[in-house]
Amino acid sequence: MNRFKLFIISSISSAFVFSANVHAAYDDAGTNYSTDTTKSWVDMGPAMEPLNFTSFLVCIINKTGASSVVNGTYNALVNTSDCQTGTSSSKPEIAKATVTTSRASNSSPQIVKVWFDAGAGSQYLAEATVTEGISASAPYGSFTFSWSHRDGTSEKGSMTFRPGTSSSTIKMAKQDTFNGFVSLNGEVNNDKTSGQVAVNIGANAYVMSFNSNHVNIKKNSDAAACSDRTSLTEYVYDYNIYDQSTGARKNLTGPFQCTYDSSGTTKQCYIGPYGAWYEGGETNITSVTHSDGTVYSGITYDSTDANNDGFYITVPGYTFSPPIVFAKSDQVTTVQTAMSNNTYLEYYGENSLYGLPWLCSTDGVSYVDSSTNSCTGAKYWRPSAKLANGTVLTDTGSTSYVVKAAQSMKVMGTVASSNCSTLDVTGVGASYPALTSSDITAVSFTWDDKPTVTASPKVIDGVVQ
């Protein structure tokens, strides 16, 4: 796209240079549209959830800089958004960590203790014993790692990596309120391209064998399914909208994630102008902690909108912006098709464009349309359509915006079983049996043991200052 148009007309008697007006485009370099990135991850199904979680934990610990500080007690700041799958934001999500590291000698293991505080009740304890660093022969290092929620009961687990001649073993056992008990036991080759893993999530048992191109997964007594790791379908979960002329992101004071206290246990919540979701199913919670750490009290609910403000919940000290509304009849054909039977799209702020239809699933494998099927008991959700980046949306006031994906998930395509002929899963479950709760090693300290550190952060996002 040309940003400047120069017309030069010459004659033997004179020369004139005409310069057209300069028009900025939404996708010019430096605009929010251009600089905002789409957070994307590959979903390999429910069987891979434990591996995603282990990757998150290892990422967080690496960002505390513990490997660079052999002995010390210090504060660290961690951008957790770099480690997460399933969340998105154009802004860093900064969490605080207090860290102690100790190593008696070059031949001794390094002991790392972390008090991790992401605010809004997301406070965790983590303890690692590292016996070998990362190298070509030990690409994951050798370590034992345990963690727990601050309360010591709602979430806890342990993980170990042990290197061998050509592969490393991985074991993880964890307990949480969403999945119950989860077990992962397997082996990954040191080139990180292939391996075999057995995963148990509640009553479901998965076994898998994979290489750089394909993965063969078998659930319980079902037939094994072969998937192509290189052929991916993208599902967009969240969008942002931008000024069609300048590319500026449209920011509103929208819904927010939060936590609340339920009989001494910290639980998750989500509050928007039309209502609230509480993990425990409550309907009358009056005090919550915003994900940024702000506490809001005196929350009231108005199911009939008796005060005619257009909202059904009031959070003192927090004012919701009215949503930007896009009527189906005002949109281009591709948007109308994506909206299916829905009449409006509504934008509430960053990562909050609602109105596109969704699919639901109870097992993470078979999905049905939520508009025509009951989604009772569904644990997995997937959008049924997506809007291409740069698609124009026109609101009810005739103002036009362009959309861009904020968060997307990529799913492997199912292929013929012949592609997995060398990825036999027979015997994987026997070779790597399910772990038990006895495989969870308790963290040896509590939140009350956190040392007081008044100095400025020694490590910021993994970099020693």
Both tokens of 78, joined, read 């961690």
Query: Taking 90 as the threshold, does the pLDDT of residue 21 lie above it?
Result: no
Residue 20 has pLDDT above 70, yes or no: no
CA-nearest of 223, 264, 176, 235 to 367 is 235
Helices (H) and strands (E) in the chain, counts: 4, 32
**Residue 150's pLDDT is what?**
87
Q: DSSP letter at 109?
A: P
DSSP string for 327-345: EGGGS-HHHHHHHTT--EE
| Segment 287-340, tens digit of pLDDT | 999 888 899 999 999 877 766 666 788 999 999 998 999 999 999 999 999 998
**Buried/exposed 14-25: b ≥16 CB within 10 Å, e otherwise:** eeeeeeeeeeee
Residues 6+ apart with CB under 8 A from 30: none
Higher local confidence (pLDDT), 82 or 358:
358
Range in 16-20, 60-64, 414-418 with the lowest mean pLDDT: 16-20
d(C-alpha 329, C-alpha 344), whole Å? 9
pLDDT of residue 121: 62
403 vs 345: CA distance, rounded Å: 12
**pLDDT for 90 beyond 90:** no
Residue 108 makes CB contacts below 8 A (sequence gap 6+) with: none
Q: What sign does the dihedral 103-106-108-109 (CA atoms) show?
A: positive
Average pLDDT, the chain: 85
Element (H, E) at 111: strand 110-117
pLDDT in tens, 93-151: 677 889 999 999 888 999 999 998 876 567 889 999 989 888 888 887 888 999 998 88
Only one residue has tokens 């009031």, namely: 314
Longest dimension (CA), the chain: 94
Average pLDDT over residues 191-214: 92
Give the pLDDT confidence score for residue 50 in this predicted structure: 75
pLDDT of residue 137: 82
Interval 447-465 mean pLDDT: 90
Whether the pLDDT of residue 16 is over 60: the answer is no
Report which DSSP code applies to 157.
E
Angle at 11 between CA 8 and CA 13, to 5 degrees: 130
Q: Which residues, 6 or more positions from 13, have their beta carbon under 8 angstroms from its beta carbon? A: none
Q: Quote the CA–CA distance of 366 and 82 in Å, as a whole number.
A: 30
How distant, in Å, are the alpha carbons of 86, 244, 283 from that of 256?
A: 15, 26, 17
Per-residue model confidence as pLDDT tens digits over 249-263: 999 988 888 888 888
What is the pLDDT, as a whole number, of residue 371?
Answer: 72
- If one compares 381 and 169, the residue with the highest pLDDT of the two is 169
> What does the alpha-carbon distance between residue 214 and residue 201 come to, in Å, rounded to a whole number?
22
| DSSP code for 371 | T
- This prediction has a pTM of 0.69
Distance between CA atoms of 254 and 312, rounded to whole angstroms?
14
* Inter-residue contact 70 to 87 (CB < 8 Å): no
pLDDT of residue 351: 86
Where residue 167 falls among pLDDT bands split at 50, 70, 90?
Answer: very high
Spatial contact of 162 and 168, defined as CB atoms under 8 Å apart: yes
Given this model, what pLDDT does residue 95 score? 79
CA distance 406 to 139: 32
